Amino acid sequence: MAFPPQFLDELRARLSLADVVGRRVKLVKRGREHSGLCPFHNEKTPSFTVTEEKGFFHCFGCGAHGDVIGFVMRAEGLSFPEAVERLAGEAGLEVPKATPQERARAEKAKTLYEVLEAACVWFAGNLASQDGRAARDYLVGRGLHDGTIARFRLGFAPDRRDGIKIALMGQGFGEALLLEAGLIIRPEDNRPTYDRFRGRVIFPITDRRGRVVAFGGRLLAEREKAPKYLNSPDTPLFHKGRLLYALDKAWAAARDGKEIVVTEGYTDVIALHQAGFTGAVAPLGTALTETQIELLWRLVDEPILCFDGDAAGGRAAARAAERALPLLKPGKSLRFALLPAGEDPDSLIRALGPGAVQAVLDRAQALVDVVWRMVAGRQPADTPERRAGIRAALRSHAYAIADRAVQEYYLGEFEARLDSAFGSGRRQRGRRGVRDEGRPVHALGLQADGNLDILRLRQQQLLLATLLNHPDLMAEFGEALGMVRLDAPELDKLRQEILKSLGSGVDTADLQSHLIGQGFSGLLGKLLCGAVYEHGVFARPGGNLEKARRGWLELFERYHRRREFGAEIDAAVRALTDEPTSQNRVYLERVREQQLRTNDADWGDEDFDQATRARPPEG
């Protein structure tokens, strides 16, 4: 039997070729491909490859080649219809019946592609005409080049009720077909049909193969009760929750190793592409769906969701995180990048250039960080009951993950963070001291792992990261920051720029954007990241402001203690090296013990042993 092309396309889109092949072949991922021993002939050296992005397998030994349907046909000895039925059951699709009606529907689908392509050409022609001048001015005003406009096939729908209706019916397309394609609307009271898109800039929406399947339109002039953005309705070719804007271009970008960035609007996607971020896509007027997340994972393992840095962006990130958790698999996750407040990708590129966007993407946070922040960072934790509530909420999120291995890692990660932030409930003892002055020492979580230079670097990075992520603290600690001299020249240069910027009246809320514009994007990416935050949970963006304040004070006190002890220890080491007496040895030990008691282990066993081995002690 013949299956409708759109049904077969949907079947291939819903199934992971690597997963299907992996049931019979042990695959090893190498770059963007998987490889293994060919199941269709005997071989000792792998020559069988699976290319997920392109949707085909190939054996360089025996020449076997095909898509997911072809693999099942070969591997299980099935006919084409049998393989399609088997895979449709796995994908949750109902197999179309080979009836005259189904065959007619398949033919109609071909005609739908034709009418939508004709509509795209008509919209583009309008944009180039005198009627499209305002639309062209709008697009140019958004910074779009002629080549970009042509590449995305942008168009214009005149503000007439029957413009496309007359044009396409004049080309031989029937009114019923225009209705089914979503190009015109029939009122409920049976009045004459009229154009769906009127007075709008038109954004063609294409499927994975680049075929036009729908349109989005942005209103040029305000009209009462008319939405600013309007999409085609669901049709036999278009389901807004199963497709992404610019998906066909993102497939090509993923094959080239580019990052996949999910943003919120058509113009943002186009601006990102024009700036070189050719893996940018967007959902189509809805929050990101489960199907779209699975589709993204077929492109890359960890796509980046890019949200506005305002409250609405935070809520959107939280919704996406909650939707993604049940779907997580080993190696498959999401990252989250938050833009500066008041900016979107389009405005940020126009204001500061592509480097500013890259800096935002470089600081993208892992999904686990987003979940932690949306639970632990939004409620007080000043009583045992509230801390227990945070723990229960985090565990609830972890239990939503269907994959047991990923679930267990999330549970372990949350427990470790809870212990770092709040302690285990037992009195903290040992070389790092106990809680004192109402300020939890364990909040810093600083561990040198034998490398004291790394420890000192992390302390100084946290001094800056805390203030950059909590700019409200700048007013209180700006003067103290001026007293600090950081060891790393690049960090101290950044510190000086922060102080200079505040002195010149830069709004602290826009401080990060200012620093990016001053050429610090790379340094900020290294500074505002998990490797630094794991040494100080309080420094993370979106966390509790009072915890950040107490954590910064403790860091600042440690910094000064280290400076003071450094001079005293240097003197003790020189004395022991010059005169290795028992008295000088005891003096050095006492200075070191005092340093440990004050919770600053900058002087390690290796340094101590090296000093005492300089000369054998006398007596």
Q: Is the pLDDT of residue 206 over 90?
A: yes
Q: Is the pLDDT of residue 282 over 60?
A: yes
Percent of the chain with pLDDT over 70: 82
| pLDDT (0 to 100) of residue 168 | 94
Cβ(495)–Cβ(432) under 8 Å?
no
Give the separation between CA 203 and CA 267, rounded to whole angstroms.
9
Q: Is the pLDDT of residue 300 over 80?
A: yes
Q: Which two tokens stand for residue 369?
A: 């960080």
Question: Model confidence at 407, in pLDDT bands (50, 70, 90)?
Answer: very high
Average pLDDT taken over every residue of the chain: 82
The strand ranges marked E within 47-93 are: 48-51, 56-59, 65-66
Give the separation between CA 176 and CA 412, rounded to whole angstroms.
58
Q: Is the pLDDT of residue 215 over 90?
A: yes
| pLDDT (0 to 100) of residue 76 | 82
Q: Is the pLDDT of residue 363 over 70?
A: yes
Question: Between residues 222 and 416, which one has the greater pLDDT?
Answer: 416
SS (H, E, C) 439-481: ECHHHCCCCCCCCHHHHHHHHHHHHHHHHHHCHHHHHHHHHHH
Q: Per mean pLDDT, which of 34-48, 427-441, 575-589 is the most reliable?
A: 34-48
Average pLDDT on 341-360 reads 88
Q: Which two tokens stand for residue 198?
A: 């009127």
Q: Is the pLDDT of residue 613 over 50?
A: no
Average pLDDT on 44-52 reads 89
Q: Per mean pLDDT, which of 334-338, 588-592, 604-608 is the most reliable?
A: 334-338
Average pLDDT on 62-85 reads 86
| pLDDT (0 to 100) of residue 593 | 61
Q: Which two tokens stand for residue 150?
A: 């042509």
Give the separation between CA 447 and CA 562, rounded to whole angstroms.
16
Average pLDDT on 147-176 reads 94
- Please choose, from the candidates 303, 306, 334, 300, the residue with its C-alpha nearest in 3D space to the C-alpha of residue 406: 334
Whole-angstrom CA distances from 592 to 292, 448, 609 are: 57, 17, 12
Question: Between residues 531 and 361, which one has the greater pLDDT?
Answer: 361
Question: Model confidence at 535, in pLDDT bands (50, 70, 90)?
Answer: confident
The SS3 assignment for 245 reads strand
**What pLDDT, in 10s, does the model give residues 229-246?**
999 999 989 999 989 999
- Please choose, from the candidates 176, 164, 240, the residue with its C-alpha nearest in 3D space to the C-alpha of residue 207: 240
Average pLDDT on 155-178 reads 94
> What is the distance between the terminal CA atoms of the chain, rounded to a whole angstrom?
100
For the chain, domains (ranges, CATH) are 5-91 (3.90.580.10), 99-238 (3.90.980.10), 244-426 (3.40.1360.10), 440-619 (no CATH)
Give the separation between CA 339 and CA 357, rounded to whole angstroms.
8
Question: Model confidence at 297, in pLDDT bands (50, 70, 90)?
Answer: very high
Question: Model confidence at 193, in pLDDT bands (50, 70, 90)?
Answer: very high
Q: Is the pLDDT of residue 557 over 70?
A: yes
Cβ(464)–Cβ(551) under 8 Å?
no
* Residue found under tokens 């695959």: 27
